[in-house]
Amino acid sequence: MVTNVLNGQDIHRRRVFYIPGYDPIHPRRYRELYRTESARQGKISGYKVDLIGRQGTSTYGWQVTGRMDGFETEAEFDVLVWSDIVRDSMNTNIVQTYLMMLRTAWTYTASGALWRLMRLRKGPVIAALYPVGMLLLQLMLALLAGWILGGVTALGLRPWIGATSGLVGLALGLAIVIVTLRWFRGIDNRLYVYYLMHDYSYSAATKGANPPELEARMAEFADQIATALQSDVDEVLVVGHSSGAHLGVSILADLLRDGRLPVNGPKLGFLTLGQVVPMVSFLPDAWRLRRDLHDLSQSDQITWIDVTAPGDGCAFALCDPVSVSGVAPEGKRWPIVFSAAFSQTLSPARWKTLRWRFFRLHFQYLCAFDKPGDYDYFRITAGPKSLSERYKNRKPSKSRIDHSVSKYTSMAP
């Protein structure tokens, strides 16, 4: 392994494993996002990133050559795909979605998790309440439209068909309700109501435990990372975005406990972006995740950096996921928590444009910054320095929340 960093480079070859959040879309979107945003960041920061697609493998990924600060680095990316599981979980009709809403709301309120989450950041809690409020509003509007139009129709037909007009009006009203609700669902690509409802309900359905199909997929991911750790690369970097952050925690904790992190292997870095760990770890049956957080946070075989931003209303910004979950051990080392500071690293014009585009801001960590500080996604993934070297002197943000908040802190059933 390359260990001499006196010349500014300790990484020549890197493997990157990207774990998406709850996303039903094909992983090619992440390749194209990387292509366009790395080119944009390169123009701003004065470096070059070349990307080519990868063919003939069983996993989806791409290859990158980074030329930064006079050094050249090669990186191979893999997207750890679980979008098919997400799509299957979203395959519900309108009635099922409303029943799901009731179950999810009950899980978070009855368990007390919702009130504890509100002590952290209001943004992600509002984001969680948004689909509930919007689904109720859509139902009210549909019922109102059906009542008005059905009633008007019944009154208009009464002189001709008498009492039968009431049944006609009722049938028409019900049809209007159904059509209206279907129309709302048809424009969900703009509203994200059904998408977010399915997202939050996925973990709530099992009260924080991982469904069997997800556990099986995570075991496959672990095998892929373990294989990379036996290769001749200089660094293996695991990136977990949004819900992918807590999947990454569990995957790496499994490798750690199973003794599959080689002592003399590549450097292992773990980068969590826009994490929503408390949405799961605060639930009563999230024993596995809480144990994984506890174990991973004290390992000396990994470097774990957690980056969020208060401007991201969908993430638990500057909330140490280990500490707020109430499972921080005495020897806690990780993660180092700091802010991407959108309001400072984006130009005033771009910040003004993006400030209220909450879903877009949640992906800003994977995009270019006008005035990048010490966080640059493309330097981290395609640059000459390892995650450990890049942030070896980085202090965590003073404004982070690092005390226990969760009601549930048990790590076993």
Residue 3 has pLDDT above 80, yes or no: no
Residue 1 has pLDDT above 50, yes or no: no
Q: pLDDT band for position 2 (50/70/90)?
A: very low
Q: Which structural domains are found in the chain, ordered by start?
A: 13-85+212-390 (3.40.50), 93-202 (no CATH)
Tens of pLDDT, residue by residue over 155-181, are 665 666 656 766 776 888 899 999 999
Average pLDDT, the chain: 93
Tens of pLDDT, residue by residue over 334-346, are 999 999 999 999 9
Residues 217-246 have a mean pLDDT of: 97
Residues 206-217 have a mean pLDDT of: 96
Residue type, 381: T
- In this structure, of 13-17, 121-125, 173-177, 276-280, the range with the lowest mean pLDDT score is 121-125
- Predicted local confidence at residue 274, as pLDDT: 97
